[in-house]
Amino acid sequence: MWTNLVSNNYQVKLLSTIENKETLDIMSKNRIYIFDTTLRDGEQVPGCQLNTKEKVTIARALEQLGVDVIEAGFPVSSPGDFKSVQEICKAVKEPIVCALTRAKVVDIDCAAQALHFGKRKRIHTGIGASDIHIEHKLKSTREKVLEQGVAAVKYARKFVDDVEFYAEDAGRADQEYLAKMVEAVISAGATVVNLPDTTGYNLPDMFGAKIKYLMNTVPNIDKAIISIHCHNDLGLATANSMAGLINGARQVEVTINGIGERAGNTSLEEVVMIAKSHPHLNFETNIDTTKLYPMSELVSEMMGMPVQPNKAIVGSNAFAHSSGIHQDGIIKHRENYEIIDPADVGVPKSTIILTARSGRAALRHRLEILGYKFDSDEMEVVYMRFLDMADMKKQIENDDLHELASYREAVAS
Ligand code: KIV
Ligand code: ZN
C-alpha cells in the first residue's frame, strides 16, 4: 500500500528522515480496505430486508465504525434499493458508496443514477468466470464473457473513476482464464478486481494459492487493488479471506455478524480482530474495534436476525466462562482464558456463568461482588446448597444467590 501511495525514491528519502521507530512501523504496515456488504449481500437473507430509513441508520453506523467502502445495494433490482443507494449517498461522506450491477448497460445506467449524490462513489460490475457459470448460467463462451466484462468496465468508467469488477465464482474458475480476465479488465480501467469464492468451495491453501498465482502472473496486477469475497458454505469464509490477504489481496468484502446469502459471508468482526490479534501479519484497518459489539447488536436487532451465542467476537458467550477450571483461571488472570480484552470490542466485561459446573472460586467471587463474606466452613455449606440448586436449574442468577446466602440468618433464628 505504501508503495502504491508514493514512488520508491520518495519512500526511501522519507523513511531515512524518520527516526521514531513506532512511526516507521505504522508506515510500513499493509493497509487492508474493509468493504462492507451488509446492506447488499447481507440484506439478501430471507426475512432480513430493511427499509431505506433503516439502511441509512446502518450506513451511518458503518461510517462511524470506520469501514472504507459501503456496498449500499443493487439499484436495478427494485425502486426501494435504488432509493436506499441514493439516500445513503446523501447520508455519509467518508466511505466510498458502492452500487452493484450485472455486466449490463441497463444496470450500469441505473447504478450511475442512484450514485449521483455520492461524494466518493464506485460501480461494482461483473460476470461469471467459472465454466459452470459460463455454460449453465450465462449459456455463453469464455471469449464472449470476457468481452462482456471488459465492455461493462469501460462503460462504467464513463460515469465514475472508481470501478470494481467481480469475476463471479472465481473460486471455481480455471486459473489461466481468470488471469486473462483480470488482466483485460484492469486494462479496461478497473481500479479494484474482486475474486469471489461465490460458493464457499475452497480450502484456505487452495484459495491462497489462487491469489498468489494471479499476483505473480498478471502483468498489470499492480495497477489495481485485489479484493476477496468469500462465502461460508463450508465454514471457511474467514479462513479463506485471511489466506487471500496473506497472499496479496488488500481489500476484503465482509458483513456484520457474517450474514449473507445461504451460510453467509466473511464476518467483518472476525477479520478485523484477527488482524489486530496477530500484529506479525502487519495488517492495519481503519476500524474502531470498540464499536464492533454495538454494531453487531444494531444489525441483529434491525434485521431481526439473532446472533448465535457462540459466534466469535460478538456472540453472547464469546466472553462468558462457565466451567470451574476456566472460572478459577480467569479470576486469577484474565489472559489465562481470553485472547481479546472484551473492552477492545465494546463488550462491557467478561461474565462468569454460575452453573453446576462452577467451582468454589467462582461462587465466592460472585458472592463477594454481592457483598457476602463467608469463612471456609460456611462456604462449604453454601457451596453444597448451591450445587443442589444448580442441578435443578440451568443457571444460577443473583436472586438465587441472595436466597442461598440467607441460610445464615435462617440458621441463627
Ligand atoms: O458472491 C458473489 O460472487 C457476489 C458477487 C455479486 C460479488 O456476491
Ligand atoms: Zn456474495
> pLDDT tens-digit profile of 307-337?
999 999 999 999 999 999 999 999 999 999 9
284/340 same-domain check: no
* Average pLDDT of span 100-120: 98
- CA–CA gap between residue 251 and residue 195 (Å, rounded): 10
The shares of helix, strand and coil residues in the chain, as percent rounded to the nearest 5, are 50, 15, 35
Summarize the confidence of residues 3-32 as an average pLDDT.
49
Mean pLDDT of 241-254: 98
Claim to verify: residue 296 and residue 337 sit in the same structural domain: no
In total, how many domains does the chain have? 2
Domain boundary among 245, 276, 303: 303
| Gap from CA of 304 to ligand 1 centroid (Å) | 23
Please, what is the average pLDDT of the chain?
92
Are 277 and 364 in a shared domain? no
Residue 315 included in any domain: no
Ligand 1 centre from 126 Cα, in Å?
Answer: 9
**pLDDT score of 16 more than 80:** no
120 and 268 share one domain: yes
Give percent of the chain above pLDDT 90.
90
Residue 285, judged by CB atoms within 10 A of its CB (0-12, 13-18, 19+), counts as: buried
Residues 49 and 139 in one domain: yes
* Continuous segment of H or E residues that includes residue 178: helix 175-187
pLDDT at residue 92 tops 60: yes
Predicted pLDDT of residue 14: 37
> Ligand 1 within 6 A of 183 CB?
no
Q: Is residue 3 part of a domain?
A: no
Mean pLDDT of 216-242: 98
pLDDT of residue 28: 72
Rg for the chain (alpha carbons), in Å? Answer: 26
For ligand 1, atom 4, which residue shows the shortest CA distance?
198
**Mean pLDDT along residues 142-156:** 98
Residue 18 lies in a domain: yes
Instruction: Give the residues across from 351 on adjacent strands.
Output: 320
Residue 303 Cα to ligand 1 middle (Å): 21
Q: Determine which of 11-20, 70-79, 142-151, 338-347 has the lowest per-residue pLDDT on average.
A: 11-20
How many A from CA of 70 to the centre of ligand 2? 14
Tell me, using a 6 A CB cutoff, whether residue 198 lines ligand 1. Answer: yes
Residue 27: its pLDDT value, please?
57
Residue from 205, 255, 245 nearest 225 by CA: 245
Residue closest by Cα to atom 1 of ligand 1 = 198
| Ligand 1 pocket residue status of 41, Cβ below 6 Å | yes
Residues 6+ apart with CB under 8 A from 164: 98, 122, 123, 124, 125, 126, 190, 191, 192, 193, 194, 227
Which residue minimizes the CA distance to atom 5 of ligand 1? 168
Q: Which of 303, 333, 367 is the last residue of a domain?
A: 303
Q: Do 396 and 282 lie in a common domain?
A: no
C-beta of 166 in contact with ligand 1 (< 6 A): yes
Q: How many whole angstroms from 197 Cα to the centroid of ligand 2?
A: 8
Q: What pLDDT shows up at residue 2?
A: 30
Which atom of ligand 1 is nearest the CA belonging to 41?
Answer: 8
Q: Which atom of ligand 1 is nearest to the CA of 37?
A: 8
- Cβ–ligand 1 distance for 168 under 6 Å, the answer yes
Does some domain include residue 93?
yes
| pLDDT for res 19 | 46
State whether 211 and 252 are in the same domain.
Answer: yes
**Is residue 8 scored above 60 in pLDDT?**
no
| Cell numbers at 259, concatenated | 450474514
Q: Do 145 and 104 form a contact (C-beta atoms < 8 A)?
A: no
Q: What amino acid occupies position 209? A: A
Write down the pLDDT at residue 1: 32
Find the CATH number of the domain harbouring 101.
Answer: 3.20.20.70
Residue of 198, 232, 262, 265 to mutate, ligand 1, most atoms within 8 A of C-beta: 198
Q: Is 35 in the pocket of ligand 1 (CB under 6 A)?
A: no
Tell me, yes or no, whether 48 lies in a domain: yes
Smallest CA-to-CA distance from 405 within 373, 359, 365 is with 373
299 and 324 housed in the same domain: no
Nearest in space to 167 (alpha carbons), one of 227, 90, 245: 227
Confidence check: pLDDT of 10 > 90: no
| pLDDT band at 408; cut points 50, 70, 90 | low
Residue 314 in domain: no
Q: Which of 303, 333, 362 is the last residue of a domain?
A: 303
Q: Which atom of ligand 1 is nearest to the CA of 231?
A: 1
User: Among candidates 125, 258, 251, 105, which has minimal Cα distance to 185?
Assistant: 125
Whether residues 134 and 207 share a domain: the answer is yes
Average pLDDT on 52-81 reads 98
- Verify that 83 and 218 share a domain, yes or no: yes
Residue 108 has pLDDT above 60, yes or no: yes
- Domain assignment present for residue 309? The answer is no
Does 308 map to a domain? Answer: no
Answer yes or no: is the C-beta of 101 below 6 A from any ligand 1 atom.
no
Residue 129's nearest CA partner among 118, 137, 121 is: 137
Evaluate: CB of 266 within 6 angstroms of ligand 1.
no
Q: Measured from the CA of 194, which atom of ligand 1 is nearest? A: 7
Nearest to 178 by CA among 149, 155, 200: 149
Domain region containing 347: 320-412
- What atom in ligand 1 is closest to the CA of residue 100? 6
Q: Does residue 218 sit in the same domain as residue 271?
A: yes
Tell me, yes or no, whether 282 and 325 share the same domain: no
